[in-house]
Amino acid sequence: MDVDIDTVHCEFLLMLIREGKPNQHSCKSKLERFRPKAFYRSASGHHKKKPIRFIAESSSIRDSIHMLTTGQLDVLLKRVESGELRLSQATEDRIRVIQQTSNRLADIGAEAVEKSQPVYFEQIGGLLRPSFWTLDRSSRSVDLSLHSRPVVDGEAIHESDSDKCLWELLGTDPRHSGEKCRVSQKCWAMMTAPGYKMYSLTHEVFYLQIAEQLGCLRHELPVTLRLTDEFCSNAYVESAQIATDGFPEQHKDLFMEQAALCGMSGYRDFFNREWLDSILAWQRTGAGCWGLPLDGPDDTSDLKRRVKREERVLTDGCEFHRTAVALGALSQYTRYVIEYSQKYLF
């Protein structure tokens, strides 16, 4: 049985709003309400530039989270090829085109970083390979019994400190060059500590995912999974609070980063109709990117104080990191929608 991607999205969204077990007939009259517009056309009929093209037109790539999109689409397509997932040929072809475009972009971006920031590339170049981001976790729910209130006020991990801990894993630490998976007591304590929130919390998830993919914690996998369960439980509570608060502008980037990273670890609670609609609504008409609001308050100093590595804000307000995490979140939505739909359509 072949399934059109729009029908898959509709079935999934109807299921989420608890209208009973969905059926294709009921979806046919409601497709326009739910049709995803991130890569194609806005609800008002205006074309939006594809977000992948926006990133391609940026002069360099400084954030490896973009590679998550390509890697996770690879995981999805491998499941299709193995017969685990079934899609119409048209849907598979569409996803494959996006994946191939993202792969080409990854190559261009890695080359740009190597030329413009050779020292930085030498330190983290291993993370700029899409094949690195093929973490494949089965879908599951967060365990809210693991949730704990943050005990640290504000951010506890600065990116410079996080980078040094990643250098240890990658074997690019200047103090121990070439020795991979060297985990110092200082870094382990900082990157696995309880009680963090916001970006410090997602940095912990990011660190554990990288360590796992590098094979650095092969003998500590149960500990890693338990920590990820705890961190993503806390991240989900934060995401839910951000949604309850009406998605404050200064937290939209974080909200999408939480979905991208915890989604990659399999936590399906980050995906629902209202949150997807919100992410799509934030996409900029014309440019196809995500960024600061054009008609927002004049005082954006609070947003600018949030330090992400050399966040690229272009003249039209587009932000590279925000666009990258949006793509990461949408890749997880795509994967989750298709995987979960199999239970209802086959």
Mean pLDDT of the chain: 75
Report the pLDDT value the prediction gives residue 30, as an integer from 0 to 100: 36
Distance CA 210, CA 166 (A): 8
CB 272, CB 255: distance < 8 Å:
no
Distance CA 337, CA 346 (A): 14
- Region 71-92: mean pLDDT is 87
Give the least confident one: 48-52, 107-111, 120-124, 248-252.
48-52
Report the pLDDT value the prediction gives residue 90, as an integer from 0 to 100: 84
CB 180, CB 216: distance < 8 Å:
yes
Give the least confident one: 53-62, 71-80, 174-183.
53-62
Domain that holds residue 154: 5-345
pLDDT band at 141 (very low <50, low <70, confident <90, very high): very high
Burial code of 285-316, b = ≥16 C-beta within 10 A, e = fewer? eebbbbbbeeeeeeeeeebeeeebeebbbeee
Q: Which residues contact 185 (CB under 8 A, 6 or more apart)?
A: none
Distance CA 321, CA 202 (A): 14
pLDDT band at 269 (very low <50, low <70, confident <90, very high): very high
For the stretch 306-320, pLDDT in tens is: 434 445 566 567 887
Distance CA 66, CA 321 (A): 8
- Region 116-129: mean pLDDT is 79
For the stretch 206-265, pLDDT in tens is: 999 999 988 887 777 788 889 999 999 999 999 999 999 999 999 999 999 999 999 999
pLDDT band at 175 (very low <50, low <70, confident <90, very high): confident
Tally of domains in the chain:
1
Give the least confident one: 259-263, 273-277, 296-300.
296-300
Q: Which residues contact 20 (CB under 8 A, 6 or more apart)?
A: none
SS3 250: helix
Q: What is the full DSSP assignment across 64-124?
A: TTHHHHHHHHHHHHHHHHTTSS---HHHHHHHHHHHHHHHHHHHHHHHHHHHH-HHHHHHH
Report the pLDDT value the prediction gives residue 19, as an integer from 0 to 100: 31
- Region 325-338: mean pLDDT is 87
- Region 41-70: mean pLDDT is 51
Give the least confident one: 6-20, 111-125, 281-295.
6-20
Runs of H (alpha helix) within the chain: 5-16, 24-28, 31-34, 51-57, 66-81, 89-116, 118-124, 159-170, 185-191, 198-214, 221-244, 252-264, 273-281, 301-304, 320-345
SS3 147: coil
pLDDT band at 47 (very low <50, low <70, confident <90, very high): very low
CB 49, CB 286: distance < 8 Å:
yes
pLDDT band at 172 (very low <50, low <70, confident <90, very high): confident
* 181: region left, alpha or beta (phi > 0 left; psi from -120 to 50 alpha): left
pTM of the model: 0.78
Report the pLDDT value the prediction gives residue 65, as an integer from 0 to 100: 64
